Amino acid sequence: MQIDWLAFSPGPAFFGGILLGIAAALYVILHGRILGISGIVSGLLSPKGGDIDWRFSLVLGLLSAPLIGALFFGLQTTTVIDADWIVIIVAGVLVGFGANYGSGCTSGHGVCGLSRLSPRSLVATISFMGAGFLTVFVIRHVLGL
C-alpha cells in the first residue's frame, strides 16, 4: 500500500462529511426519517398515496446541488467517469438491486446506520466496503483492466 498524497484531501473530505452528517441529523429530527438515498429513490418506483412528493423534493435537491453550489458558492463539481457504457449499466443494475435487497446503501447504512449504532448497518457497511475493496482489487490487479 502506498498513499496517493497528491489526491489525498482530508480537509474537504471532513468538511463535506460534516455537511452529510448535518443533513442526516436534520432529516431524522425534522422529518423523522432515515436519509437513505436508495430507499427514498426506490420508493418512487411504487408510489403510494401521499408518499411521492416528499421523495421527489429530496431527489430534486440532490439534482440541483451542483447548480446551487456553482451559483452561490463558486463550487466546481468534479466527476471523472472512466467506465465504459456497458460497465456503467452492469454496475448500475448491481447497485440498484443490491441496495434494495440489502435494505440500504452508503447513506442509509454507512452514514445513518453507523450513527445510530445499528448492528445490521455495521454488518452491511463491512459487507459493501469489503466487496468494493475486493472488486477493485480483482479488476485492477488481477485482471489488470
Partner 1 sequence: MRKHFNLFSQYLIGVLFGLGLIISGMSNPQKILSFLDLAGNWDPSLMFVMGGAILVGLGGFYLASKRTEAFFGGALHIPTRRDISKPLVIGSLIFGAGWGIAGFCPGPAIVALGAGHLKALVFVLAMLAGMALCNRFFTGHKKSA
Q: Angle 61-42-82 (CA atoms, 0-180°, nearest 5)?
A: 70
Per DSSP, helices labelled H in 74-104 are 85-101
Report residue 99 as a C-alpha cell: 441496495
CB atoms within 10 A of CB 144: 6
Using the rule CB under 8 A, which residue among 2, 48, 49, 143 binds partner 1?
Answer: 2
Question: Is residue 109 within 8 Å of 35, Cβ to Cβ?
Answer: no
Residue 48 sits in the site that holds partner 1 (CB under 8 A): no
Q: Which of residues 28-47 bind partner 1 (CB under 8 A)?
A: 28-39, 41-42, 45-46
Nearer Cβ to partner 1 (49/97): 97
Quote the least distance from Cβ 72 to partner 1, whole Å. Answer: 10
Torsion, CA 106, CA 133, CA 8, CA 26, rounded to 10: 10
How many residues line the site for partner 1 (CB under 8 A)?
117
Separation of alpha carbons 5 and 11, rounded Å: 13
Residue 52 sits in the site that holds partner 1 (CB under 8 A): no
Using the rule CB under 8 A, which residue among 26, 47, 51, 52 binds partner 1?
Answer: 26
Residue 49 sits in the site that holds partner 1 (CB under 8 A): no
Quote the least distance from Cβ 51 to partner 1, whole Å. Answer: 11
Site string for partner 1, 61-100 (x = CB under 8 A): xxxxxxxxx---x-x-xxxxxxx-x-xxxxxxxxxxxxxx
